[in-house]
Amino acid sequence: MKPFNPFSLTVSVPPHRHCGVTVRSRMLIILLAMVPAAAMAVTQYGIAGFRVMALSMATAVLTEIVCDKFMGRESQISDLHAMFVGLAFAFLLPASAPWWLVTIGSASSIILGKMMFGGLGGSPFCAPLIGWALCRISWPAFMDIDATMLTMDLVYPLAQLKNFGLQAVTATDAQALFLGKQLGGLGVVQIAGVLMGGLVLVMRKHISSIIPVGVIAGVIITAGLFNMIDPEVYAPPVFHLLTGSTIFGAFFLATDGPSSPNRQIPMLLFGMLVGIMIIIIRVYGIYPDGVPFAILLANLFTPVFERIRPRSFGKR
Amino acid sequence: MNRLWKEFSKGLWKDLPPFKLVLGLCPVLAVTNTADNGLGMGIAVVFVLTLSNLVVSLIRSIIPPKVRIVCFIAISASLVVAVELLMQAYAYPLYQQLGIFVPLIVVNCIILGRAEAFAFKNPPLLAIADGLGMGIGFTMSLTFLGGLRELLGKGQLFGADVTWQGFEPLGFMVEAPGAFVSLGVLLAIMNFAENVQRRRKGLKAVEGPTHDCGSCGGCSSASNC
């Protein structure tokens, strides 16, 4: 008989089983899912687009290292979240963004959107949107996609809709819009690439399908209602889905873990709120693309949505 | 004289109202979009704070303790009306800039706080020194914050261009969110510097601003100070 090994009864701290998913592997998958859109952006804008993305990612990572140093924390850049924040922020910018705008925006995404709340998992907001909002408020002229990209022969359909009404929109071909033949944020308008990456994430269960479905449903319902009221003035739902950052927001930004609810009904309500706010801002607001502000607003509602929870067992 | 200087100087750094006591944040956030506004607001507060401290201290023996808050408010309200009328007469553009925040000095918690915590218990001369010190500290903080926000948000300082050609001002800083962010960042820097100092002296690092509140005896967190 084998001698009894006393250590065989030693129990380590839970969890005892896990599926092997780490923050790093999740972020790696998300980054890989953004690659198709990034590749399409580079083919469309050339080195200018690549410059913005690379600068933004590098700044985000460097900023996080410096913040960790000052805050006396162990550096966690190897979990790749900073790279995701940098790339997502770059996706929202016009390809013509000057270097200082990219640097300040990306750094403030990390500082104000992530590290200030205590690192990954603590932030009540989706980090890249904080940097975007800061840049949009501070430098409207440089964030104005239409005015800074006059050399391109593409058009920015949302600005046309906002400034000149539905009749003036020239880019109405759904297929061309789907393939990214429009102006807008650098990566976000590469709808085909973004959608491919998003579907991969959903199918591999890295994000729940409920929030994207909620966002898209919210957009379709609200835009459909407006379109039913007056098809001459309000754009059809397909136009709203295929322009601006609706799809990118639905799959990549609204599903940001810490800032979105984590149960099914709250997730659906959260997604619907984002979708409804997108259309309301696009119709009544002063910003052509309402997605970032819609998501920031919905992030603020997350604690409220999370109050919807099952009654605890045995409690009346 | 020594005591006078001590009471005066504590408001300048050790108990700096917005950053160490974290009092009076309403005007700090609202009117500091330019250095001019910060300075003007600060001077109005110096005036009201010093005189209200003096008056409260003079009549402290005849105020019944139960209704003291009402008396403080009445005194500061009369002084604020005086400031308001003076400003309308001699600095009308500034008055228009500050708007509602001039009448709101009445309910500024520094005025009430200093009356309650200091002037009500101390003789007039000390109360004046305290009010002046606190007021000047408040003015300095407001001017500094206003200057910082004006510099970053407009590229100007006291209305004069000071930045280089091609500087794109960070317009976010003169908007309301910029006030919260810059105040938060300044508080964080102050706390960070304080903890560096404490570590150098061999003391334990603390969370949050520290100040000499003078009531260590009955305080449960006195060991953290």
Residue A222 has a pLDDT of 94
Q: Is A159 in contact with A145 (CB distance < 8 Å)?
A: yes
Residue A189 has a pLDDT of 87
Is residue A310 in a domain?
no
Distance CA(A156)–CA(A153), nearest Å, equals: 10
Q: Is A217 in contact with A209 (CB distance < 8 Å)?
A: no
**Complete DSSP assignment for A149-179:** TTTSS---HHHHHHHH-GGG-----HHHHHT
Measured N-to-C along each axis, helices B2-9 and B124-154 cross at an angle, to the nearest 10 degrees, of 30
Residues of A in contact with B173 (CB under 8 A): 138
Return the H-helix or E-strand segment holding B80: helix B68-90
Return the H-helix or E-strand segment holding B124: helix B124-154
Residues 6+ apart with CB under 8 A from A38: A53, A87, A91, A187, A193
| Reported confidence tier of residue B216, pLDDT bands at 50, 70, 90 | low
Average pLDDT over residues A263-278: 94
Residues of A in contact with B177 (CB under 8 A): 137
Question: Any chain B CB within 8 A of the CB of A138?
Answer: yes
Q: For the segment B127-146, what is each residue's pLDDT rounded down to a tens digit?
A: 999 999 999 999 999 999 99
Distance CA(B138)–CA(B17), nearest Å, equals: 6
**What interface predicted TM-score (ipTM) does this complex get?**
0.78
Is residue A53 in a domain?
yes
Average pLDDT over residues A90-119: 91
Q: For the segment B73-123, what is each residue's pLDDT rounded down to a tens digit?
A: 999 999 999 999 999 999 899 899 888 888 888 888 889 888 988 899 999
- Indicate yes or no: CB of B181 within 8 angstroms of CB of A139: no
| Reported confidence tier of residue A219, pLDDT bands at 50, 70, 90 | very high
Place of tokens 């380590």: A12
Measured in whole angstroms, the distance separating CA A82 from the mean position of its chain's CA atoms is 14
pLDDT, chain A, mean: 88
Q: For the segment A150-172, what is each residue's pLDDT rounded down to a tens digit?
A: 677 778 888 888 888 887 777 77
Question: Any chain B CB within 8 A of the CB of A137?
Answer: yes
Please name the residue of chain A whose CA is at the shortest distance from the CA of residue B193: A70
Of residues A162 and A270, more confidence is placed in: A270
Query: 3-state DSSP call for residue B78?
Result: helix
Is residue A3 in a domain?
no
- Indicate yes or no: CB of A142 within 8 angstroms of CB of B168: yes
Distance CA(A26)–CA(B174), nearest Å, equals: 39
Residue B166 has a pLDDT of 79
For chains A and B, CB pairs below 8 A equal 21
- Indicate yes or no: CB of A138 within 8 angstroms of CB of B181: no
> In Å, what is the CA distance from A304 to each residue of A124, A217, B166, B178?
12, 21, 45, 26
| Reported confidence tier of residue B11, pLDDT bands at 50, 70, 90 | confident
pTM of the model: 0.86
Among candidates A70, A104, A139 on the partner chain, residue whose Cβ is nearest the Cβ of B171: A139
In the chain, the amino acid numbered A30 is I
Domain ranges of chain B: 2-145
Of residues A103 and B17, more confidence is placed in: A103
Q: Is A132 in contact with A291 (CB distance < 8 Å)?
A: no
Distance CA(B127)–CA(B121), nearest Å, equals: 9
Q: What percent of chain A has pLDDT over 70?
A: 98
Residue A70 has a pLDDT of 85
Residue B44 has a pLDDT of 92
Average pLDDT over residues B17-25: 83
Residue B18 has a pLDDT of 84
Distance CA(A116)–CA(B155), nearest Å, equals: 26
Query: 3-state DSSP call for residue B160?
Result: strand
Is residue A13 in a domain?
no
> In Å, what is the CA distance from B45 to each residue of B20, B84, B106, B123?
17, 11, 10, 21
Residues of B in contact with A116 (CB under 8 A): 184
- Indicate yes or no: CB of A137 within 8 angstroms of CB of B168: no
- Indicate yes or no: CB of A138 within 8 angstroms of CB of B172: yes
Is residue A216 in a domain?
yes
Instruction: State in Å, rounded, how far the first CA of chain B is from the last one.
Output: 27
Residues of B in contact with A138 (CB under 8 A): 169-173
Query: 3-state DSSP call for residue B157?
Result: strand
Instruction: Tell me the β-bridge partners of B160.
Output: B157
Helices (H), chain A: 23-45, 47-71, 81-92, 99-113, 127-138, 140-143, 145-148, 157-164, 174-178, 191-203, 210-229, 237-242, 246-248, 264-284, 291-305
Question: Any chain A CB within 8 A of the CB of B168?
Answer: yes
Distance CA(A146)–CA(A160), nearest Å, equals: 9
Is residue A120 in a domain?
yes
Residue B221 has a pLDDT of 59
Short-list A156, A136, A137, A157, CA closest to A146: A156
Residues 6+ apart with CB under 8 A from B2: none
Among candidates B171, B184, B192 on the partner chain, residue whose Cβ is nearest the Cβ of A138: B171
Question: Any chain A CB within 8 A of the CB of B171?
Answer: yes
DSSP code, position A302: H
pLDDT at A177 over 90: no
Q: What percent of chain A has pLDDT over 90?
A: 51
Average pLDDT over residues A81-106: 93
Question: Any chain A CB within 8 A of the CB of B170?
Answer: yes
Place of tokens 């913040």: A67
pLDDT at B57 over 60: yes
Range of the domain at A183: 23-305
Of residues A144 and B125, more confidence is placed in: B125
CATH of the domain at A48: 1.10.3430
Residues 6+ apart with CB under 8 A from B15: B21, B134, B137, B211, B212
Other C-beta atoms within 10 Å of A249: how many?
29
Residue B214 has a pLDDT of 54
Residue A128 has a pLDDT of 94
Return the H-helix or E-strand segment holding B161: strand B160-161
Least confident piece of the model among A215-229, B10-24, B73-87: B10-24
Residue B215 has a pLDDT of 55
Question: Any chain A CB within 8 A of the CB of B155?
Answer: no
Q: For the segment B152-207, what is each residue's pLDDT rounded down to a tens digit?
A: 888 888 888 888 887 888 888 888 889 999 998 888 888 888 888 888 887 777 76
Distance CA(B68)–CA(B73), nearest Å, equals: 9
Residue A160 has a pLDDT of 82
- Indicate yes or no: CB of A139 within 8 angstroms of CB of B177: no
Short-list A77, A132, A124, CA closest to A106: A132
Instruction: Tell me the β-bridge partners of A160.
Output: none
Domain count, chain A: 1
Distance CA(A257)–CA(A299), nearest Å, equals: 11
Distance CA(B193)–CA(B125), nearest Å, equals: 33
Burial class (CB in 10 A: 0-12, 13-18, 19+), B166: exposed
Q: For the segment A8-44, what is each residue's pLDDT rounded down to a tens digit?
A: 777 777 777 777 788 899 999 999 999 999 999 999 8
Among candidates B168, B171, B184 on the partner chain, residue whose Cβ is nearest the Cβ of A137: B171
Distance CA(A194)–CA(A248), nearest Å, equals: 6
